[in-house]
Structure 1
Amino acid sequence: MAYLTRDGSAWTPEYLTAIDASKCIGCGRCYKVCSREVMHLHGVDDSGTVLGKVTEDDDDDFDGELNRKIMIVDNSGACVGCAACARVCPKDCQTHLAADRIAA
Structure 2
Amino acid sequence: MSHPFSVILPSGEAWIPHFVDSLDEQKCIGCGRCFRVCSRGVLQLLGIDEAGDHVPLDDDDEEEDEHEKKVMTIAHRGLCVGCTACAKICPKGCYTHAAAQV
The TM-score normalised by the length of structure 1 is 0.80
SS in 1 for 2:41: coil
TM-aligned CA deviation for residue 74 of structure 1: 0.5
* Residue identity matched to 1:73: I
Matched, 1:74 2:75: yes
Please tell me whether the aligned partners of residues 2 and 10 of structure 1 are also in contact (alpha carbons under 8 angstroms): no
TM-aligned CA deviation for residue 2 of structure 1: 4.9
Could you say which residue in structure 2 is the equivalent of 1:45? 49
- Aligned CA RMSD, in angstroms, stands at 1.9
Aligned residues: 95
Q: Give ranges in structure 2 of 5+ residues lacking alignment.
A: none
2:35 aligns with one of 31, 37, 59: 31
Q: Which runs of 4+ in 1 moved over 4 A?
A: none
Task: Indicate the percent of aligned positions where both proteins have the same amino acid.
Answer: 45
Per-residue CA deviation, residues 13-63 of structure 1 (Å, 9 max, x unaligned), is 0111221110000000000100101001001023321112x24x3238xxx
SS in 2 for 1:70: strand
CA distance 1:38–1:2, shift in 2 (3 Å): closer
Q: Give ranges in structure 1 of 5+ residues lacking alignment.
A: none
The TM-score normalised by the length of structure 2 is 0.82
